[in-house]
Amino acid sequence: VPTAGRVEFRDVTFGYPGAERPVLDGVSFVAEPGQTTAIIGSTGAGKTTLLSLVSRQYDPQQGSVAIDGVSVSDLGRHEMASVVGLIPQKPYLFSGTIGSNLRFGRPEATDAELWEALRVAQGADFVREKTHGLDERVSQGGTNVSGGQRQRLCIARALVARPRVYLFDDSFSALDVATDARLREGLGEATAGATVIIVAQRVSTIRSADQILVMDGGAVVGRGTHDELLESNETYREIVES
Ligand code: DCP
Ligand code: MG
**Tell me, what's the pLDDT at 164?**
96
Cα 126 to averaged position of ligand 1 atoms, centre (Å): 32
Mean pLDDT of 85-112: 95
In angstroms, what is the span from residue 34 Cα to ligand 1's centroid? 28
CA of 47 to the centre of ligand 2 (A): 5
CATH number at residue 232: 3.40.50.300
Ligand 1, atom 11, residue with closest C-alpha: 44
Does residue 133 fall inside a structural domain?
no
- The string of pLDDT tens digits covering residues 18-33 is 999 999 999 999 999 9
Residue with CA at minimum distance from ligand 1 atom 28:
43
Q: Which domain holds residue 229?
A: 7-95+164-241
Examine residue 159 and state whether it is found in any structural domain, yes or no: no
Expressed in percent and rounded to 5, the helix, strand and coil fractions of the chain are 35, 25, 40
26 assigned to some structural domain: yes
Provide Rg for the chain, Cα atoms: 18
pLDDT of 142 reads 67
Pocket (CB within 6 angstroms of ligand 1) = 16, 19, 23, 41, 43-49, 89
Residue 139 phi/psi, 5-degree rounding, is -130, 160
179 compared with 120, residue with greater pLDDT: 120
At residue 136, does pLDDT exceed 70?
Answer: yes
Q: Please choose from 49, 198, 220, 221 the residue to mutate so as to test ligand 1's pocket, defined by most ligand atoms within 8 A of CB.
A: 49
pLDDT digits (tens, 9 = 90+) for 180-231: 889 989 999 999 999 999 999 888 889 999 999 999 999 999 999 999 999 9
Any domain includes 235: yes
Question: Is 190 among the domain residues?
Answer: yes
Average pLDDT over residues 93-114: 96
Among 20, 27, 47, the mutation site with the greatest number of ligand 1 atoms within 8 A of its Cβ is: 47
Is 1 a domain residue? Answer: no
Considering the domain boundaries, does residue 193 fall inside one? yes
Q: In the predicted model, what is the mean pLDDT of residues 24-46?
A: 97
Distance CA(144)–CA(209), nearest Å, equals: 35
Q: What is the total count of domains within the chain?
A: 1
pLDDT at position 139? 83
Of residues 163 and 140, more confidence is placed in: 163
pLDDT digits (tens, 9 = 90+) for 103-113: 999 999 999 99
> Which protein residue's CA is at the shortest distance from atom 1 of ligand 1?
16
Please report which residue ranges of 164-212 form alpha helices under DSSP H.
Answer: 177-190, 203-206
Cα 13 to averaged position of ligand 1 atoms, centre (Å): 14
Q: Whose CA is nearest to atom 3 of ligand 1?
A: 16
Q: Does 210 reside within a domain?
A: yes
pLDDT in tens, 141-191: 767 898 889 999 999 999 999 999 999 999 988 888 888 889 989 999 999
The Cα–Cα gap between 93 and 55 comes to 18
Residue 220, classified by CB atoms within 10 Å of its CB into exposed (0-12), middle (13-18) or buried (19+), is: buried
Contact 166, 158 (CB under 8 A): yes
Q: Percent of the chain having pLDDT more than 90? A: 82
